[in-house]
Amino acid sequence: MLGLLVLLASLASAVLFTTASRAEEPPTGPPPTIVVRPGDTLWDIAARTLPRGDGQGAVDELRRLNGLSSSVVHPGDVLILPRAA
């Protein structure tokens, strides 16, 4: 009986270790993107796609991710969005 309990505990810890190590793996695949629509501003896009972030911080993050030197965007531009946390 004791041997069975030790075996079950070992299996449970192995499963937990494997699951925990996968949770820390970086996301794979292409980052999410959005196409700028007519009338969009970077502020609008930040508010629409990053609603929980602070406004200016979200705009700054979009600028950084996309290598933008200003907040000007044009219809048809494809912007990279931050990955969900």
CA nearest 80: which of 37, 38, 46, 56?
46
In the chain, % of residues over pLDDT 70: 80
Tell whether the model's pLDDT for residue 24 goes beyond 80.
no
Task: Please give the residue that has the higher pLDDT: either 15 or 10.
Answer: 10
In the chain, % of residues over pLDDT 90: 44
- Asked whether the whole model's pTM tops 0.75, one would answer no
**Spatial separation of the C-alpha atoms in residues 60 and 31, rounded to whole Å:** 17
Q: Choose the weakest-confidence range: 4-8, 37-41, 78-82.
A: 4-8
**Spatial separation of the C-alpha atoms in residues 21 and 40, rounded to whole Å:** 40
What integer best gives the mean pLDDT of the chain? 84
**Spatial separation of the C-alpha atoms in residues 23 and 15, rounded to whole Å:** 12
